[in-house]
Structure formats: structure tokens, C-alpha cells
Amino acid sequence: MKKTQILVYGKHPEILETVLRLINKNESWEGEGSIDEERVIELFHQNHYDLVLLGGGISGDSEKKIRALFHHINPQLKVIQHYGGGSGLLKSEIEMALGSGTNDRLQIMDNPFGT
């Protein structure tokens, strides 16, 4: 089974390490990343990624640069912001971006009265 390849860019080394550990603990995902913008760009050019995850501490200019460059190269690439909050939120963010998750907060019922 091919694993979903995830590139992570964040400015906090400890958080990046934790996020990568959680990603790589999932048997369907494989992640790598860096706190260095140029290293993230280098990794992007060297490998194929299904998803790019942006963590905290990235400047607005750096985020714009990354998004513009990556979308120029691969317009279908999903680039999402990770807001922190633990492994459950991370899993949900990734699954939603990949289209394999459900939004538990929004449930639409055809017939809410069950009749």
C-alpha cells in the first residue's frame, strides 16, 4: 500500500518533531519536514508529496512564498495550516485535506424527524 507523503514546515523544532512522530506513527502516512524554509523547498523538489502541512511560527511572507511556489509546480497540491491541539486534531486536519475524513461538527440529515 502506498503511503500518503506529507511535508511539514514549522518554526518550532519540538513541535515539528512531535508532528512528524505522530504522522509517521500512522501506518498510512509518511512525513518529513524542516524548520528551515530553504530545506523545505529542497525536499519538495526532491520528492513527491500529497500534502503540505504548515505549522506555527512561519512568517506571512514565507507562507505566501511556499504556497505560491508549491502551487505553481503542482496546482492540485493541498497545502493546509496545522493549528495544533493534539494528535486528534492533526489526524482530522489531514483526513479532511485528503478527503477521507468526516466533519463531526456538521451533520446534515435528509429527514431530521426520522419519519
Q: How many CA atoms lie within 13 A of 16 on its CB side?
A: 19
Give the pTM.
Answer: 0.81
3-state secondary structure (DSSP) of residue 33: strand
Domain boundaries, the chain: 29-98
Instruction: Give the tens place of pLDDT for each residue, 54-104.
Output: 998 999 999 999 999 999 999 999 999 887 766 678 888 898 888 864 444
For a pLDDT cut of 70, what percent of the chain falls above it?
83
